[in-house]
Structure 1
Amino acid sequence: MNLPNKLTILRMIMIIPFVVFMLVPIGGAGKWIALALFVIASLTDLLDGKIARKYNLVTTFGKFMDPLADKLLVCSALICLVEMGKIPAWIVIIIVSREFIISGFRLVASDKGVVIAAGYWGKFKTTFQMVMIVLMIADIPVLSLVTTIVMWAALILTVVSLVDYLVKNKDCLKDQK
């Protein structure tokens, strides 16, 4: 197993302590530990991709598991934020639904021998979602307007990236006899 794939697995493992620190009342330090874990996990996403491309370590495992690790991290954080009353559930439902649709689409494509890597809009969407989550965890009152704007941008990018993904890969849905 190469380094980028190990970083992807590390990101998935980090979700467990992240959720614990988000939801278990540990005093004022809990949210900051959760924030640090989320930022570190998010940075492993950037790092594993750069290493994989630079050293030609791109694998089928990485193409499938890297986006899955991102989805697990982001969805876990969003569910925690709903539990904490920091984001409306309907927004999270839209974001999580997009992730399920794309995952289903990837399964159909892989059944046909096609591996679809993350696209530009998906990466942009993920970046905005992660920034939104960082702002919501930090919960700094002076940044509440910025947090709201980033939340709406992340939601819009979620929908745009879904439409872009479906349009670009619509041929994967066609039955071939």
Structure 2
Amino acid sequence: MNLPNKLTMGRIFAIPVFIVVFLMGYKYAAAIIFILAALTDMLDGHIARKHNLVTNFGKLMDPLADKLLVMSALICLVQVEYVPGWMVIVILGREFIITGMRQVAAAQGIVIAAGTTGKIKTITQMIAIPLLILENWPFSLLNFNLPMDTIFLWIALIMTIVSGIEYIAKNKKLFSM
């Protein structure tokens, strides 16, 4: 197993650790675990492309690891009432739809690459989540308490919807096959 795939697997193995640490109330530790896991997403892709280590395993597992990490964190945040459940349902619904489309496309030998809006969605989710875990720290220290956690959550939700519509529009031929 090459380094990018090991990083992807490390992200998957970090998920239950994150969940336990977060639900035990160790918010700073949970945020650090989440941030480190999220950083492995950027790192594994960079290494795989730079050193020509792209594998079918990585193509499948990397996006799955990202979705598992983000969804696990968002569901934990719903449980502690930091995020409305309906938002997570919208985000989760988009992920199921796009993953299903990718599976249909893959069965036909078509690869649906991540688009710019999908990447922005992922980045904003991965910024919003630690801010939500830490209850808007460090912005909560400001006299006017700029709600960056909420702002990034809404941006992530909007980008989730926009990127979902974009994927469906660009790949509508899959629905007629």
Structure 1 residue 168, shift from structure 2 partner: 1.6
Aligned partner of 2:102 in structure 1 is: 106
Aligned partner of 2:159 in structure 1 is: 157
2:129 paired residue among 133, 146, 150: 133
Aligned length, in residue pairs: 171
The reply to whether residue 122 of structure 1 matches residue 118 of structure 2 is yes
Gaps of 5+ in 2: none
Aligned partner of 2:41 in structure 1 is: 45
Structure 1 residue 144, shift from structure 2 partner: 5.2
Aligned partner of 2:81 in structure 1 is: 85
2:148 paired residue among 146, 149, 155: 146
Work out whether residues 102 and 112 of structure 2, in 8 Å CA contact, stay in contact via their aligned partners in 1: yes
Structure 1 residue 174, shift from structure 2 partner: 2.6
**Aligned-partner Cα distance in 1 for 2:110–2:61:** 15
**Aligned-partner Cα distance in 2 for 1:136–1:108:** 34
Question: Deviation string for 1:100-130 (max 9, x for gaps)?
Answer: 1111111111111223232211111000001
Aligned partner of 2:168 in structure 1 is: 166
**Aligned-partner Cα distance in 2 for 1:87–1:80:** 9
Identity of aligned residues (%): 54
**Aligned-partner Cα distance in 1 for 2:171–2:46:** 25
Aligned partner of 1:8 in structure 2 is: 8
Q: Given residue 131 of structure 1, which amino acid in structure 2 is its aligned partner?
A: I
Gaps of 5+ in 1: none
Work out whether residues 70 and 126 of structure 2, in 8 Å CA contact, stay in contact via their aligned partners in 1: yes
2:54 paired residue among 53, 58, 61: 58
Report the TM-score, using the length of structure 1 for normalisation. 0.92
Question: Deviation string for 1:18-68 (max 9, x for gaps)?
Answer: 00011124xxxx111111100000000000010011111112221221111
- Aligned-residue CA RMSD in angstroms? 1.3
